[in-house]
Amino acid sequence: MMGAPEIFNLQKQIYSTDEIKTNKVWVDGKTIYRKVLNITTFNNLNDGWYDNIDMSFVDNMISVSGFIKQNTVTFPINAYHSGSWYNCFYLNAGEKKIHGIVSQELQNKPAMLILEYTKITD
C-alpha cells in the first residue's frame, strides 16, 4: 500500500493538459510547472503565434518538447532533419505567446507540446 509521500511524488510525474506543479525547482528557487498543449501546426512556413494560448503568467520557459504526428512519423518538437523536415516552437517573452515555425511536410498536423516553466507570481 502506498502512503501519502509516495502518492505525492507519483503525482508530480503526470503529464496533463491541466497545469501540474512538478517536484523540480529552477536555479532562482521557483517551482517548475508542466502543461501539455494539444495543437495543430500552422499552414505556412512563416513564424506564427498561438493567440488562444495564454502565457502571460510565465516568467521563464524552461523547456518546450513534444512531438508532431505526420502520417506514420512521430517527429520531435524543436528538431531538424533536412530543409523539408524541421520545426521550432518557443515562447516570445515580449508578446507572451507561443510561436511555431514548421516545414511544409509538418504543416497542419496534430502536435503535443510539453511546456515546463516558472511563474511570475511565485
Q: What is the DSSP string of the chain?
A: ---HHHHHHHHTT---SS-EEEEEE-TTSPEEEEEEEEEE--SSSS-EE-TTS--TTEEEEEEEEEEEEETTEEEETT-EEETTEEEEEEEETTTTEEEEEE-GGGTT-EEEEEEEEEETT-
45 pLDDT more than 60: no
CATH number of 4-119: 2.60.40
In this predicted model, what pLDDT tens digit does every residue of 88-116 receive, in sequence order?
999 988 888 898 888 888 889 999 999 99
Q: Dump pLDDT digits (tens) for 7-36.
A: 666 656 789 999 999 989 999 999 999 999
Q: Is this prediction's pTM over 0.75? A: yes
